[in-house]
Amino acid sequence: MNLRYRSILHKSEVNGPGSRTVLFTQGCRLRCPGCQNESLWPTEGGLLESPETVLEKLLVPCDGWTISGGEPLDQLTPITLILERLREEDRGIILFTGYTIDVIGMSLLMSHAACLCDAVVTGPFLKDEVCHRGLRGSSNQIIKCITDRYSARELDEYPHGIEIHADPAVITGFPGGD
């Protein structure tokens, strides 16, 4: 089973602590109104590659990985294979998902994928509840720390910022509120 993704961004400092490699998956069934990654909703487009090929691009010197989208858990099998391999490294993994912790808890496969991460930011983006704190886009979202690598407070207080990368052309991050 292949993974469809839009891009892999290296040396990001706005998608979690340290210098991170960020995987942006392509495709999202949730389609939250106001989502900043609306271009990642379609399930076509982007790149379609094996988990092994994607891992070759992810396993570079970095402080950790951030998996975002689109909706990573909509491609559960290839994402889980990737997370299982990343977990073997001694670096942090943060997963963003629009699924709630309750939905994740009802799925053995989703729960397994989440447990391979150090932290999971859960819940749909709600445009009427935009917040300008840490790694959450809206105040309903919950930061769930799976390991003690990060604390929820650390991730909730992570400074907002935006980055512009030329190759691939990506604007990423969390705009500030002031």
**Pair 135, 68: CB distance under 8 Å:** no
Q: How confident is the model at residue 128 (pLDDT cuts 50, 70, 90)?
A: very high
Cα–Cα distance measured from residue 55 to residue 30, given in angstroms and rounded to the nearest whole number: 26
Q: What is the pLDDT of residue 159?
A: 79
Q: How confident is the model at residue 131 (pLDDT cuts 50, 70, 90)?
A: confident
Those residues whose C-beta lies under 8 Å from the C-beta of residue 81, and which sit 6 or more positions away, are 1, 51
DSSP 94-118: EEE-SS-HHHHHT-HHHHHHHHTSS
**Pair 96, 89: CB distance under 8 Å:** no
Those residues whose C-beta lies under 8 Å from the C-beta of residue 153, and which sit 6 or more positions away, are none
> What integer is the mean pLDDT of 88-101?
97
Q: How confident is the model at residue 178 (pLDDT cuts 50, 70, 90)?
A: very low
Sign of CA dihedral 29, 144, 154, 17: negative
> What integer is the mean pLDDT of 107-117?
97
> What integer is the mean pLDDT of 118-139?
91
- The CATH code of domain 3-174 reads 3.20.20.70
What tokens does 130 get? Answer: 């935009």
What tokens does 155 get? Answer: 């991730």
